[in-house]
């Protein structure tokens, strides 16, 4: 078994128009910039994107929105140091926004990957985010029902991966990546280093290979923060 591929392009090009795509990362930390840029090059349109944020500057997710490829964004916090691209698209009614509290977003994704269609959470009870959602009391406290969230594709970023797709992450760049890997029909991962099976101590594996379909090595991946400090624009 060897799920590694040489370039992002050869696997990203299978993503069709209209797909739902989860993109890992929290701000720039753990954002799979090279995979997102390959998606821009590929040009799939009318995408629904799931990410914690809404892009920053003119690279990565912001660039994908700037290219007009995203019809809808599901996120918790569409603000950043430079949210211009999203703000302009939103005000021009070019992009729909579904705001989800961050923990609810994470749990919806986790449930999507774990085969749990709905769950109850105390988060957002009594707020406008809960409007229209079923409420039930457990042990005297009200909870709202939320549904799982699944995707056609997940684009994620790790640190080390082996040819089976077992992966590790680097510090806070872990964030949404491991749960998104579980919640998509097809998970495409970029890692800084690909090793042979056995190259990762099994005790250190965070994402077991069963959740990963394609793995590509991007040595020295770009950091969104550094690209933005250099005022980079993609493409």
Figure out which of the listed residues 148, 176, 211, 234 binds other proteins, where binding follows CB under 8 A. 176
Figure out which of the listed residues 4, 123, 163, 193 binds other proteins, where binding follows CB under 8 A. 123
Cα distance from N-terminal residue to C-terminal residue, the chain: 34
| Element spanning 225, H or E | helix 224-229
Binding mask 136-175 for other proteins (x = CB under 8 A): ---------------------------------xxxxxxx
Query: Per CB under 8 A, which of residues 18..47 are in contact with other proteins?
Result: 26-30
Cβ nearer to other proteins, comparing 67 with 123: 123
Figure out which of the listed residues 16, 43, 68, 103 binds other proteins, where binding follows CB under 8 A. 103
Structure tokens at 45: 């349109």
Is the Cβ–Cβ distance between 56 and 228 less than 8 Å?
yes
Figure out which of the listed residues 102, 152, 195, 205 binds other proteins, where binding follows CB under 8 A. 102
Tally DSSP H helices, then E strands, for the chain: 7, 11
Minimum Å gap between C-beta 106 and other proteins is 4
Single out the residue of 181, 179, 190, 183 nearest to residue 36, CA to CA: 190
- At residue 67, the 3 state secondary structure works out as coil
122 binds other proteins (CB under 8 A): yes
The CA-CA-CA angle for residues 160, 189, 109, to 5°, reads 115
116 binds other proteins (CB under 8 A): no
Is the Cβ–Cβ distance between 59 and 227 less than 8 Å?
yes
Cβ nearer to other proteins, comparing 15 with 228: 228
82 binds other proteins (CB under 8 A): no
178 binds other proteins (CB under 8 A): yes
84 binds other proteins (CB under 8 A): no
Cβ nearer to other proteins, comparing 6 with 220: 220
Kindly compute the dihedral angle of the four CA atoms of residues 39, 44, 50, 52, in this order, to the nearest 10 degrees: 40
CA distance 67 to 122: 38
Q: Which residues bind other proteins (CB under 8 A)?
A: 26-30, 52, 76-81, 86-87, 90, 97, 99-107, 109-110, 121-129, 169-179, 206, 223-226
């Amino acid at each position: 078994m060897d799920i590694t591929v040489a370039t992002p392009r050869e696997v990203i090009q299978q993503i069709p128009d209209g797909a739902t795509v989860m993109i890992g990362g929290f701000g720039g930390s753990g954002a799979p910039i090279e995979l997102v840029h390959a998606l821009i090059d590929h040009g799939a349109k009318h995408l629904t994107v799931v990410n914690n944020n809404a892009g920053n500057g003119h690279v990565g997710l912001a660039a994908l929105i700037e290219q007009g490829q995203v019809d809808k964004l599901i996120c918790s916090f569409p603000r950043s140091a430079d949210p211009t691209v999203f703000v302009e698209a939103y005000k021009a009614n070019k992009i729909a926004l579904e705001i989800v509290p961050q923990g609810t977003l994470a749990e919806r994704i986790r449930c999507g990957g774990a085969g749990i269609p709905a769950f109850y959470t105390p988060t957002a009870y009594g707020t406008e985010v809960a409007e229209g959602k079923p409420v039930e009391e457990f042990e005297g406290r009200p909870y709202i029902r939320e549904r799982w969230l699944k995707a056609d594709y997940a684009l994620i970023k790790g640190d080390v991966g082996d040819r089976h797709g077992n992966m590790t992450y680097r510090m806070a760049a872990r964030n949404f990546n491991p749960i998104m890997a579980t919640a998509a029909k097809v998970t495409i991962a970029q890692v800084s280093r690909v090793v042979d099976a056995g190259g990762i101590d099994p005790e250190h594996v965070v994402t077991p290979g069963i959740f990963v379909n394609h793995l590509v090595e991007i040595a020295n991946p770009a950091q969104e923060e550094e690209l933005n400090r250099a005022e980079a624009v993609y493409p």
